[in-house]
Structure 1
Amino acid sequence: MNVEKSPNWEEEFAERLNTQQWDSWKLYKMCYDVVKTNLITEFTGLKSLKYLPNVTPLEHQLEAAQTVIERMNGKAILADEVGLGKTIEAGLILKEYLMRGLVKKALILAPASLVNQWSDELTSKFYIPAVPYRKNTSIEHTDILVMSMDSAKKSPHKEAIYAEAYDMIIIDEAHKLKNHKTKIYEFVQSLKKKFCLLLTATPIQNDVFELFNLISLLKPGHLGNFDVFQSSFKASKHDLENDEFLKELVNQVMVRNRRQDTGIEWTTRKVHNIPIEFTEKEREVYDLILQLKDISPVFSGSFSMITLQKEMCSSKEATCLTLENMMKNCNTKDEIAFVEEVIQQLMALQTNAKAEKVLEIVRSAEDKVIIFTEYRATQIFLQWFLHNNGITSVLFNGKYNKSKRDYMKYLFKEKAQVLIATEAGGEGINLQFCHHIINYDLPWNPMKLEQRIGRVHRLGQEHDVQIYNLAIADTIEQKILDLLHLKIDVFEKVVGELDDILTYKHPI
């Protein structure tokens, strides 16, 4: 395309100079006043508070927001203990950057069950027009988008998000990014982002390398590459050296408030590790299960045996389901016959020692109780067992959609004495009206215990929280207890002290 200069431009320009009004003091003054009103003259302090009548932040939340903006340049792990308001801190930071004109486009990734909650809070409390993703939502034309992690990492959403240049990414329950080999980790790593907030009360769940992965995602190279990190701190899964230096590096990118540091008067946690003895018949079946690894190669893998041992410590129902599925892979009649014998003896059991202890605790509590189990088969058994003993209960697990989860919460609050939850109940649900928790099955991960307890031990709890950790003597659960203590020790070395989730080592 050829661009030619107009031969008359000089005459036309001279004419405009003589006839057109080029300035207006009134318009200039109005423009000046608007700019002056919006001008942020200094970068210290939070300017957004006077525009947020629906939010009354606590002191630790204000300090966290200021620290992230002024010292961490908008890249931080918000690692407050469960229930201290990390969402409020993230909202304050986002609002501040929006007002300063440094953020125009933001993406919030959260568990599916929390997408609406995030959108509602940002809109109603912070006047941030956050849009929860729906099938007809235009990713390209939405400035503040709230989306589930699972949806975001899949096509075609993934490609649409990659095409955008986000000024800020906020990721709730960020411990789900602990494994650098997962698709969600690779997805977040590939996002174009200027500022990034990772929200998790549990930045270390199982080993110190999880924290390395989170920080590398947030600020690549801050801890060196993997080999440098491993050699500098002599790091293994559950041990490391130079932990004070590592903690100093971590604190440059992480804000962590503990309940005792907030100036709020909190109720206490009262933790009870409760040893349980198998009945004679239960012990016989448990020993039979241990023999399976010598009977068939199907059961020789350590994962298979550990799973069966854990299930046997939970319920015969959970154990039977696994045995029946594994038996399909047995190759000889002798192997099948032995498994069938185990199943027959399992089903003949009349007593579940752990369930009997649960019934005793529930009756003595004379109040609402949450029971956490890892198996849906155990859930159903416990509901049947409690019903037969005159105890009302409702179930709560990851298969329920949001409306059903909300209805189960309502039934528990208004009608039933007991909520029987799988791990899904340890995330994204607030139950301050209850203060008794039974950890029927112990997880390998101590932070799952913290997440469970955090459902009730949070702002608004008016009673001391009673926590009952059940473990059967001389079983896999004794090993789990020992490993939990080891993992808690690593967490406290690097991140800081953890509120009580287990009593000190207890002879089980």
Structure 2
Amino acid sequence: MSDINYDFKDLLNVGENFNLLYTQMLNGKRIRSEKTGVVYVFDEVGCGKTVSAIIAIASVIKEKQMENEGYKILVLTQKSVCLQFEEEIKEKLKIDSNVIYNVAYDTTNSLEENIPTYIKEKSCIIVSNPHKIGYLNGKEKRWDLVVIDEAHDLICNNQKQTEAYYTDKINKAYDEYLNDKNFSIERKKYIKDYLNNIDKESSFYNAIYQFVQQIAVEERNEHLQTGRISVPESRSKENVKFRELLNLKSNKLMFLSATPYKNSREMDFINYAFVAAHILTDHTIFAARYLPELDWVQDVYSATEGGKQKMEAANTSFMFKEIAQAIPFDSKDTKIINGKRRIVEIWDSKEDTDILRKNIISKLDKKEEVKNRFLIFVSNSQEGVHVFKKIFPEESKGFDIREDNKHYYKNKNGITCQFIMNKFDNTLEMKSYSKENEKIPDILIVTWQVAQVGINLPTFNYVVNYHIPSIPGYLEQRYGRIDRLNSTNDPLYNIYYLDNNGMSFIYRLNLFTALNHYIEMVVGIPHNLPTKNLLFCDKLKPKKVNINEEMEELYQVLAYYVASYLNEEDDKKNTEEDKQKNVKQWVIKTNTWRNKDIEWNKEKRRLLVGDREYFIRELRENDETNSENDLVEETMEHNIKSISYYIFQLEQGNKMVTQINSAKGLEKLSDAGSIIYWNDNHETIVSNIEEIVKKLC
């Protein structure tokens, strides 16, 4: 490792809480490379990407100091993380802390006044959330380094948007663009020349070719009133953050993301390169040299000779904690491989209605060396109270979360529980929980919006998902809150709690969807990015639902809500005919009752759907179906849409079960924490971490 010049090390405040790792220091070297100017840090959640960014900042500062110049550095991260990022820079860098400015909480007036002042100074490091990019971009503001944290949130598209965009319509629209006289011949020639010069040997050739065509089509969209091609949300004019991001100018750029793509790796990675080309150059339409370089990954993760050299020369880091932690920077001797166990469990209230309380209380009662603590994710304060009442059924009578003194609760047995949510203005309290202290609660109930990313909680060993998203990357991010480099707990648990009321039917479906996407990504679509299994276990292998039995009941419930809606008195906005049209619109998206006539007979109290006749009974307040699914909301529209969506998902679910359970290599996922990669024959292999580490040392 001595062959690499790490001249910026003297700017790092190395100490008890800051140990240098080889893979992180390598990112500081990469940012100084003259090859591209962009570095991608796609390391695992909890692998120290923030430290990599701070080391890169030190590297750029050192370079500017050697030239006797000041520095201008911008860090973009989520608002809830800005303070933590600012404090880590101050703690880990030997620089004047007065040049560091956190503008995340500045008002519009103060931003307009302060930003120009900061930038005029010889040196400055500005930490901001992405919503303020508009005050930080422009030609007069050229940065020496821009760091973009959680980059996928700004850059990647969701699956439906991507599929809608990458269609055959683009080819036709591109031909129309070439024939459109509103565009200069020079501009069209520039695009055609670029397409002709794309490296045909590149694995990204087809994707880049189509992407550049799409850029041309977007330009044409600007001049059209009709016939526009629909573009993904992240690329649309309405997405102000993305558009303003493209107006940033910098000499160097670093992207941080543990989940760098959402659905299509090639297309999402091309989006990264597209953004990099805009930020690092003035006129380039696209530059393949800015693509993430991942050719080394298979060589390293299969412990092949030469993999280390390829990795060091690449612009991309893709590391897991066990590997990063085992290779310290200052010594060629590897540390003991972290053998931390990861355990995935499912707690289903259908099997035991009291399972949440029993499991948590029993773990807290146990006298173990490891202090058990639970981090529970909910969607809102109402869900938080619901979970609290599940755990403390007797003590929660008359409980009102709106009272300030109820945000931190201690029961008669000494068990402590805290609510942390934006509405209580107490989110900063989590920062103190990154290190062991007596104030840390046994149970921490948080809304996912405040704790899903950027928060370090290595003092907890259980993540409990009450709110379950349908995107696997979000579940990985949550688990990463407790699975940190400095986490001493072993084992670590990832729990899915499936309730039997409230939003439970949606969350069950979300879990089903997330697992399908995850397994499809891991064993269904071979690619060269290894994956660590943090989400799947044998207990989660899905089973088919007996549709015939459940569907009949569901259609009865749907029929009831449709009938109730149609039976309401007509108003000025909605006549009987209007309401029938509304119902068709609400259910047609899910193929429920598609193309069938819907007629409500008030006298006979029956609903006709095609040739099917439903006789409607009154549902009482304590009706089991009604209370169990909690479908009564403010409007009948919500009820009809929800149950219709559920029916559709149930039908789709059985198709996914077949897909999931027939996937080759599924047995490799039974061990949580295993690292999986694919060889050239598209075979699924479990990586040998010890061999990988030896090859890198």
Give the equivalent residue in structure 2 for 1:304: none
TM-superposed CA distance for 1:458, in Å, is 0.6
Give the equivalent residue in structure 1 for 2:28: 65
Q: Do the aligned partners of 1:98 and 1:104 also contact (CA within 8 Å) in 2? A: yes
Please list the CA deviations of residues 80-109 of structure 1 after superposition, one character each: whole Å capped at 9, or x if unmatched.
Answer: 112222222222222222222277212111
TM-superposed CA distance for 1:409, in Å, is 4.8
1:371 to 362, 371, 376: 376
Is residue 457 of structure 2 the alignment partner of residue 457 of structure 1?
Answer: no
After superposition, residues 66-465 of structure 1 pair within 5 angstroms as 66-70=29-33, 73-101=36-64, 104-128=71-95, 129-133=99-103, 134=106, 135=110, 137=114, 138-142=117-121, 143-154=123-134, 157-158=135-136, 163-177=140-154, 178-179=156-157, 180-181=234-235, 182-208=239-265, 209-219=267-277, 221-222=286-287, 252-262=314-324, 263=326, 265-274=337-346, 276=348, 278=350, 356-366=354-364, 367-388=372-393, 392-401=416-425, 404-406=428-430, 409=433, 414=439, 416-423=441-448, 424-463=450-489, 464-465=491-492
Q: Structure 1: how far apart are the matches of 2:153 and 2:440?
A: 34
Aligned length: 369
TM-superposed CA distance for 1:195, in Å, is 0.5
Helix, strand or coil: the match of 1:414? coil
Q: Do the aligned partners of 1:110 and 1:146 also contact (CA within 8 Å) in 2? A: no
After superposition, residues 20-39 of structure 1 pair within 5 angstroms as none
Is residue 50 of structure 2 the alignment partner of residue 52 of structure 1?
Answer: no
Q: Structure 2: how far apart are the matches of 1:466 and 1:502?
A: 12
Please list the CA deviations of residues 396-450 of structure 1 after superposition, one character each: whole Å capped at 9, or x if unmatched.
Answer: 2344546654489599962632111221212222111111121223211111111
TM-score, structure 2 as length reference: 0.47
Q: Do the aligned partners of 1:112 and 1:149 also contact (CA within 8 Å) in 2? A: yes
TM-superposed CA distance for 1:266, in Å, is 2.7
Helix, strand or coil: the match of 1:145? strand
Q: Structure 2: how far apart are the matches of 1:213 and 1:88?
A: 25
Q: Structure 2: how far apart are the matches of 1:397 and 1:162?
A: 39
Q: Structure 2: how far apart are the matches of 1:225 and 1:458?
A: 30
Give the equivalent residue in structure 1 for 2:186: none
Q: Do the aligned partners of 2:30 and 2:39 also contact (CA within 8 Å) in 1? A: no
Q: Which 10-residue stretch deviates more, 452-461 or 357-366?
A: 357-366
Amino acid at match of 1:174: A
Alpha-carbon spacing, 1:109–1:489, altered in 2? closer, same or farther (3 Å) = farther
Helix, strand or coil: the match of 1:467? strand
Alpha-carbon spacing, 1:444–1:491, altered in 2? closer, same or farther (3 Å) = farther
Alpha-carbon spacing, 1:115–1:225, altered in 2? closer, same or farther (3 Å) = closer
TM-score, structure 1 as length reference: 0.63
Q: Do the aligned partners of 2:420 and 2:426 also contact (CA within 8 Å) in 1? A: no
Q: Structure 1: how far apart are the matches of 2:318 and 2:35?
A: 13
Alpha-carbon spacing, 1:409–1:50, altered in 2? closer, same or farther (3 Å) = closer
Helix, strand or coil: the match of 2:144? strand
Please list the CA deviations of residues 208-264 of structure 1 after superposition, one character each: whole Å capped at 9, or x if unmatched.
Answer: 3433322321247355999xxxxxxxxxxxxxxxxxxxxx99x94421111121215
Q: Do the aligned partners of 2:463 and 2:493 also contact (CA within 8 Å) in 1? A: yes
Percent identity between the aligned chains?
18
Helix, strand or coil: the match of 2:343? strand
Alpha-carbon spacing, 1:387–1:148, altered in 2? closer, same or farther (3 Å) = farther
TM-superposed CA distance for 1:78, in Å, is 0.9
Give the equivalent residue in structure 2 for 1:481: 515
Helix, strand or coil: the match of 2:532? coil
Structure 2 spans left out of the alignment, 5+ residues? 158-233, 279-285, 292-309, 327-334, 365-371, 395-410, 544-697
